[in-house]
Amino acid sequence: MLTTFDSVVLAAVARDLAPYAGSRIVRAGQGAPDEVVLDLRQGRRTASLFISINARWARVHLTSLRGSGRASPFVQMLRRRLDRARIRSISQPAFERSVMVDIETDAGPVQLIAEIMGRHSNLILEEDGQIAGSLKVVPRSKSSVREVLPGKPFVPAPRDRPTPFDLTLDSFTSRLQGSEPLAKTLAGSVLGLGVPMAAELAVRAGLAPDRAPSADAAERLWPHLQELMQIVRDHRFAPTIYLDRNRPVAFTPFPFVSLENLTHHAAARMSDAVDAVMTSAGAAARLEETRAGLLASIDTALGKLTRTASEIEQALVESSHAHELRSQGELLLAFGSQIRSGAREATVTGYDGRPVTIPLDPARSPVDNAQRLFKRYAKLRDALTALSARQERLAADRQFLEHARAHALHAETLDALEDLRQELLAEGFVRARGRPSKPSRRAGPRSFSLAGGYTVLVGRTKAENERVTFALAGPEDLWFHARGVAGAHVVLKTGGRRPQMNTIEQAAAIAADFSTARESRTVAVDYTQRKYVRKPKGAKPGLVTYEREKTIFVKPKLP
């Protein structure tokens, strides 16, 4: 991303929204937890207003997206309060980072305020000067500056900088000081300017955005800042989309001199430019952010398992000497009559004919010392059994987590990652957050078509691995898994036929690609008929055993 959603972009979007004054709100929907979509109707014309308060991708614009996710309590409240409501006006104070939607409801006027302020972004419903609800609740414990709670008086977000309209050349000069890069200093000194916009003003003034402000920087920037103010005042926007290999990567409210060497074209509306760039970039970034968070949770759990396994190994080593305690107790009973009362140790002949020195409690008799050794032996013997069982559980947990990690790396959608998170939550490897999510509504496992009419199915999660293997695969179908590494369950649907070796190799290459060995040149992949695959009793989801397998070496590759 080369640009940001600053107040100038917001002003250009507000121009797109203005014609929808008079529209009815027909539905409030939700995509991600920090997104709201309002479906509007005005006569025969319909539109969807998208509002995101994501810390990185906060924005407001018209969109083609639909709010198909689970409605939060705030969105459920919007559905009740805004039923049959009509938008009276949509406005944005110049260079402010918020949009106000004035709405007439059956119960009276309310105002929906979208505040686009990075990590402080929020969507608030205000009625009679009080907060009726908000997408993000901000109690006093999280902010000593401004509480955002239902029933509290609505207070506009505080300004930490003046807008361009509040500045004089002298005050602008005094603010443009310091050793930070000019673009960062300018953005931090004037409300509503993002760093890309500040860099553009610097380039137009013939200044280097990445160097500290020069003595005459303010004087040279001033006319260009005045020109920007006039563009905002007159709504003279010319939305522009910038491309990288035909992929939208940046948007600006007018063509940027600093980006003139990039491929670009005009957009009909600012909303179209923002929607084209941020919907794709934001979705990809959200996917990667979610993936990174899930991988971090998995790696944390794996780290805990490693430490616990090390502790168990050490305890097992100590417990393995339990038989020595039993032998010492037996020797004390055998030679008890020869041991002096009150002795702190006794040296007797062991079973192999060598002398054995046994520490004693001088306050106890040889028989009591022997009984004490037998009790310690029994405790260590029982611990050895428990430790061995726990070691087996840890090994199963590690295998489960390693497979989950492989699925997280290969996940292509947020739904797949959420399903995987729910599996980890059920096994106690991640913490619950908020209300439980509904199962995703995906079409099912990945599917690949091969020559000859064959189909290959690939599980996306642990639960889906089981479904692919035990519900969708027939007994005669071929089952594939990368040998000795974590990966997806892969099934070649044979339809009762005997596939040629090149078909088997293709299916094996898919299994290799959906494994943690996908970066290797060659991967060993086991395959067998599905009827030889079993799930051990009590095993975690997706963990199986198999027999009568053959092994093939292939290069990871998708058809």
SS3 252: strand
Contact 60, 274 (CB under 8 A): no
Cα separation, 461 vs 396, whole angstroms? 17
Q: Per-residue pLDDT averaged across 89-95, rounded? A: 94
Four-point Cα dihedral 201, 206, 212, 218, nearest 10:
-60
Contact 424, 541 (CB under 8 A): no
Q: Per-residue pLDDT averaged across 304-309, rounded? A: 88
- Amino acid 533: pLDDT: 95
Q: Per-residue pLDDT averaged across 210-224, rounded? A: 96
Contact 283, 248 (CB under 8 A): no
Contact 202, 256 (CB under 8 A): no
- Does pLDDT of 93 surpass 60? yes
Just give the CATH number of 7-134.
Answer: 2.30.310.10
Cα separation, 86 vs 63, whole angstroms? 19
Least confident of 69-78, 496-505, 506-515: 69-78
pLDDT bin (cut points 50, 70, 90) of residue 436 is very low
Cα separation, 367 vs 334, whole angstroms? 10
Contact 383, 315 (CB under 8 A): yes
Cα separation, 557 vs 559, whole angstroms? 7
Q: Structural domain boundaries of the chain?
A: 7-134, 164-277, 320-397, 446-554
pLDDT per residue as tens digits for the range 342-357: 899 999 888 888 898 9
In terms of Cβ atoms closer than 10 Å to its own Cβ (0-12, 13-18, 19+), residue 371 is middle
Mean of the per-residue pLDDT values for the chain? Answer: 89
Q: Which is more confidently placed, 377 or 79? A: 79
Look-up: residue for tokens 């189909």? 455
Cα separation, 100 vs 90, whole angstroms? 6
- Amino acid 434: pLDDT: 52
Cα separation, 226 vs 155, whole angstroms? 30
Q: How many helices (DSSP H) and strands (DSSP E) are in the chain?
A: 12, 22
Contact 474, 484 (CB under 8 A): no
Cα separation, 48 vs 20, whole angstroms? 10
pLDDT bin (cut points 50, 70, 90) of residue 395 is confident
Q: Per-residue pLDDT averaged across 507-517, rounded? A: 93
- Does pLDDT of 149 surpass 80? yes
pLDDT per residue as tens digits for the range 224-278: 999 999 999 999 999 999 998 888 889 999 999 999 989 999 999 999 999 988 8
Q: Which is more confidently placed, 429 or 214? A: 214
- Amino acid 57: pLDDT: 85
- Amino acid 454: pLDDT: 94
SS3 224: helix
- Does pLDDT of 13 surpass 60? yes
Cα separation, 211 vs 182, whole angstroms? 6
H-type alpha helices, 442-489: 462-467
Name the helix (H) or strand (E) containing 313: helix 270-319
pLDDT per residue as tens digits for the range 439-476: 454 557 889 999 989 999 998 888 888 999 999 999 99
Four-point Cα dihedral 176, 179, 180, 183, nearest 10:
40
Q: Which two tokens stand for residue 465?
A: 């691995």
